[in-house]
């Protein structure tokens, strides 16, 4: 069993840490307010800084919101790198910029550690059910070291390629997810405005070529109007920014991605930055002056 430092106990990180504790690993985290009671009961310990986490852990997992957060945890004052032990495995499971990931991997490797980028897909439900899809960028050695731990929290684990490849795959994932959520929202809005029963429309679509996990999960959210996250719109906006910035550097046009980002921005402008990303429906409803189910 491993001594794991787990930094980032949010909507996703909290259940992931719980699974690792249930599997018999010992976990330590950075003290941030009151530790979740369930994790405390399972034996999770707290220290004052990422540096102290690195001083006692043989594996460090980060699950924080953005590229700048990972950089601060790893390389900021009292960061991981200041306490990094030779051979420490650093697994970043956040969703961040691929190019910066490559730079982070280089710095950790030069300091004597092993770096793995392993962003996830599957949302809160996937984290709770240990059924996440995990996209890995690593050396062959790093992947083999990380895989047993990733198998505790995930179901589909794919070694995409070298450092940064996992994050590139995650950006592609977020493009597909955003455009599919938008498509589901438009389809249900059209059906509703035309006077059809959207519950039956969704049921029918789930049996045909339009079937998808997003139609299943987020289509139901839209119909029931349950927009509590889930995965927050502001975080999906961050991921689409990564896609659009990457597209500019590649001289690549992503018009659908840009349109989805504008709809998310409309939600954020109307107080919806912390809605679940299925809340993109609300921006479309505002344009249509019609609410699904009316």
Residues involved in catalysis: 170
Determine contact, residues 226/277, Cβ cutoff 8 Å: no
Q: Give the position of tokens 């950790």.
A: 108
Distance CA 189, CA 268 (A): 20
Pairing of strands 45-47, 26-30: parallel
Tokens of 273: 């930055």
Note the maximum CA span of the chain: 65
Angle between helix 198-205 and 165-193 (nearest 10) = 130
- Rounded to 5°, the CA angle 111-158-21 comes to 70
Distance CA 264, CA 256 (A): 12
Question: Long-range contacts: 290-294, Cβ < 8 Å, 24+?
Answer: 290/189, 290/192, 290/193, 291/192, 292/188, 292/189, 292/192, 292/198, 292/222, 292/223, 292/225, 293/192, 293/198, 293/223, 293/225, 294/192
Determine contact, residues 275/227, Cβ cutoff 8 Å: yes
CA-based Rg of the chain, rounded to a whole angstrom? 20
Q: Give the position of tokens 């070298």.
A: 162
């Amino acid at each position: 069993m491993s001594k794991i430092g787990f930094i980032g106990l949010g909507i996703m990180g909290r259940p992931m840490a719980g699974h690792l504790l249930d599997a018999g690993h010992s976990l330590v985290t950075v003290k941030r307010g009151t530790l979740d009671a369930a994790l405390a009961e399972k034996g999770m310990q707290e220290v004052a800084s990422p540096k102290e986490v690195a001083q006692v852990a043989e594996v460090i997992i980060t699950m924080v919101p953005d590229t700048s957060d990972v950089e601060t945890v790893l390389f900021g004052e009292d960061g991981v790198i200041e306490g990094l032990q030779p051979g420490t495995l650093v697994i970043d499971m956040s969703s961040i910029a691929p190019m910066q990931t490559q730079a982070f991997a280089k710095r950790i490797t030069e300091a004597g550690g092993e770096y793995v980028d392993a962003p996830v897909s599957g949302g809160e439900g996937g984290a709770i059910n240990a059924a996440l899809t995990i996209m890995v960028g690593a050396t062959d050695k790093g992947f083999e070291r990380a895989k047993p731990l990733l198998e505790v929290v995930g179901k589909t684990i794919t070694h995409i390629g070298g450092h940064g490849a996992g994050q590139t795959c995650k950006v592609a994932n977020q493009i597909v997810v955003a455009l599919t959520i938008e498509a589901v929202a438009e389809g249900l809005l059209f059906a509703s405005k035309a006077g059809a029963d959207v519950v039956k429309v969704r049921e029918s679509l789930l049996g045909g070529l339009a079937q998808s996990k997003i139609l299943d999960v987020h289509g139901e959210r839209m119909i029931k109007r349950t927009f509590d996250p889930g995965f927050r719109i502001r975080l999906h906006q961050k991921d689409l920014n990564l896609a659009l910035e990457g597209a500019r550097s590649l001289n690549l046009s992503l018009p659908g991605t840009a349109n989805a980002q504008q709809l998310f921005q409309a939600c954020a402008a109307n107080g919806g930055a912390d809605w679940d990303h299925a809340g993109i429906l609300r921006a479309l409803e505002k344009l249509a002056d019609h609410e699904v189910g009316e």
